[in-house]
């Protein structure tokens, strides 16, 4: 591996608490220069809302150890690259987020970082590592191919201009819909795992993980709408308002997740929850709403098109075996 121009060596090591401030600055610069990740399932720390508070929360997420799962490149006391691992061991994969400062590229840093990540993945017993990028990110696509990754999945990134959205119809499904309440994290965990059991890329959540996600600084229980049948939660729409993101048409929002219990599908419950979620976002000054959908999920895509969502781009999942 080549040294820097002034002859200083590159040091590959794990994250330490004293790296916090430099890691935040590098994360913000990575997002501003090249937003490599569209966080369909998570938006922290990246996703147009990087902040010290969110990064601190991200480093404390359940099942994650920054001292083992976050690799840094240092030279001359400056952190110039990172590779963050998100272990999803129950489904045999690790999600990677990597960025090398442009000044320090073409020096083998990504290869060295990946080597450390693969060793850690083997320790955890994972079978594959995966990376998600924008389809038009030619630099990342070239680098991933060089590192032995193959494209395995496509997700469509949709957007709705809320100026075109106005709900006039009544509730077709006939079910009760309301906001999630404190202490109902177990109910949300249960319905989410039922909704997405067996779907590609979905790792069953624990109550601890759901509680962590609902208590993030950029989220609120009011953002989550649920449908119930008696005392059973049978569907949910998890919305998000992107803090600090304001465009000429208003704030930015996102449909984080939308799901209906398999026993209740075909009754218009998902559609009703989506409409209520969009109404909630619009009432909070949201001007555009984004969401991600698997390109193979034709039923969901048809629903979003009916409501008025349009494809703006797509993202790609790349994968490499650990061994």
| pLDDT exceeds 90 at position 247 | no
Helix (H) or strand (E) holding 26: helix 20-33
> Domains in the chain, start-ordered, CATH in brackets?
11-148 (3.40.630.30), 158-314 (3.40.630.30)
pLDDT for the residue 246:
58
**What average pLDDT does the segment 90-97 reach?**
96
- The answer to whether the beta carbons of residues 98 and 139 sit under 8 Å apart is no
Torsion sign over Cα 295, 204, 119, 26: positive
Please tell me the pTM assigned to this model. Answer: 0.89
The DSSP secondary structure of 236-254, one letter per residue, reads EEEEEEEEEEEETTEEEEE
Instruction: Show the tokens assigned to 34.
Output: 């090249």
**What average pLDDT does the segment 99-124 reach?**
95
**What average pLDDT does the segment 70-77 reach?**
97
| pLDDT exceeds 60 at position 45 | no
pLDDT in tens, 176-200: 899 999 999 999 999 999 999 999 9
Pinpoint the alpha helices (H) of 125-240.
138-146, 185-196, 207-214
């Amino acid at each position: 591996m080549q040294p820097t121009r002034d002859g200083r060596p590159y040091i590959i090591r794990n994250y330490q608490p004293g790296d916090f401030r430099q890691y935040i600055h590098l994360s913000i610069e990575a997002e501003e220069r090249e937003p490599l990740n569209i966080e369909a399932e998570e938006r922290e720390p990246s996703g147009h809302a990087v902040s010290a508070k969110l990064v601190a929360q991200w480093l404390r997420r359940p099942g994650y150890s920054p001292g083992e799962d976050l690799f840094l490149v240092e030279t001359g006391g400056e952190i110039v690259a990172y590779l963050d691992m998100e272990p999803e061991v129950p489904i045999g994969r690790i999600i990677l987020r990597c960025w090398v400062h442009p000044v320090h590229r073409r020096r083998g840093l990504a290869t060295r970082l990946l080597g450390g990540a693969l060793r850690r993945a083997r320790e955890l017993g994972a079978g594959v590592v995966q990376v998600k990028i924008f389809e038009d990110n030619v630099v990342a696509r070239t680098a991933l191919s060089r590192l032995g990754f193959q494209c395995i999945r496509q997700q469509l990134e949709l957007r709705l201009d809320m100026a075109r959205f106005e709900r006039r119809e009544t509730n077709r499904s006939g079910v009760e819909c309301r906001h999630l309440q404190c202490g109902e994290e177990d109910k949300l965990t249960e319905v989410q795992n039922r909704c997405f059991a067996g779907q590609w890329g979905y790792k069953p959540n624990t109550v601890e993980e759901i509680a962590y996600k609902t208590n993030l600084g950029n989220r609120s229980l009011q953002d989550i709408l649920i449908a119930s049948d008696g005392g059973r939660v049978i569907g949910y729409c998890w919305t998000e308002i992107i803090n600090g993101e304001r465009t000429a048409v208003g704030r930015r929002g996102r449909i984080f997740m939308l799901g209906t219990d398999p026993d209740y599908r075909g009754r218009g419950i998902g559609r009703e929850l989506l409409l209520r979620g969009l109404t909630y976002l619009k009432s909070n000054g949201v001007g555009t709403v984004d969401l991600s959908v698997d390109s193979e999920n034709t039923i969901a895509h048809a629903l979003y098109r009916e409501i008025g969502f349009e494809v703006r781009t797509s993202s790609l999942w790349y994968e490499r075996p650990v061994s």
